[in-house]
């Protein structure tokens, strides 16, 4: 092999190989988890996005992307990510729960209850989802009670 071809091959390898060593969706997913555990949510989000680029059917990457987006206050994008996760895996109780949490933040309690209900149908022992669902039911009941009493008082 000529020195020109060897040089061209070395240049190709140098520029084609990822600088950070991540080569597949699993590598990017693991990097995302490591960055998340370091509280580097922007970096974690970028890693999950790379994992999804490689494997768009990875429901766990979509779920974790949603978690990062929620932490970063990007709630509509987080909802989209959780919806993708649950469309890819309709029995993904944690993604349904996470969707409910974002709906709660947005004050969309009926939608949150629906998401928590999906999580508890999938996993009847998912205590955290039951508690959040019951809490939201109480909020809605209290709001209705206050509306009725306000109307009666005036």
Mean pLDDT of 78-93: 98
Angle (CA) 104-148-110 rounded to 5° is: 20
Residue 64 has pLDDT above 90, yes or no: yes
Instruction: Count CB-CB contacts under 10 A for residue 134.
Output: 12
Mean pLDDT of 91-120: 97
Residue 83 has pLDDT above 60, yes or no: yes
Angle (CA) 29-32-34 rounded to 5° is: 115
Q: Tokens in use for 69? A: 């987006």
CA distance 141 to 1: 78
- What pTM value is reported for the model? 0.80
- Who contacts 48 (Cβ-Cβ below 8 Å, separation ≥6)? 28, 29, 32, 61, 62, 64, 65, 68
CA distance 103 to 65: 16
Confidence of residue 22 (pLDDT cuts 50, 70, 90): low
DSSP code at position 109: H
Percent of the chain with pLDDT over 70: 82
């Amino acid at each position: 092999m000529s020195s020109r071809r060897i040089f061209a091959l070395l240049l190709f390898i140098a520029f084609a190989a990822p600088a950070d060593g991540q080569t597949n969706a699993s590598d990017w997913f693991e990097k995302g988890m490591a960055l998340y555990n370091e509280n580097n949510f922007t970096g974690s989000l970028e890693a999950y996005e790379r994992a999804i680029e490689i494997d768009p059917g990875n429901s766990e990457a979509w779920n974790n992307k949603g978690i990062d987006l929620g932490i970063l206050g990007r709630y509509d994008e987080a909802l989209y990510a959780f919806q993708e996760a649950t469309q890819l895996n309709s029995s993904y109780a944690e993604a349904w729960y996470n969707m409910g949490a974002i709906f709660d933040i947005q004050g969309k309690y009926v939608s949150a209850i629906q998401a928590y209900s999906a999580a508890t149908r999938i996993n009847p022992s998912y205590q955290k989802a039951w508690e959040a669902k019951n809490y939201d039911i109480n909020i809605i009941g209290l709001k209705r009670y206050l509306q009725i009493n306000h109307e009666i008082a005036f």
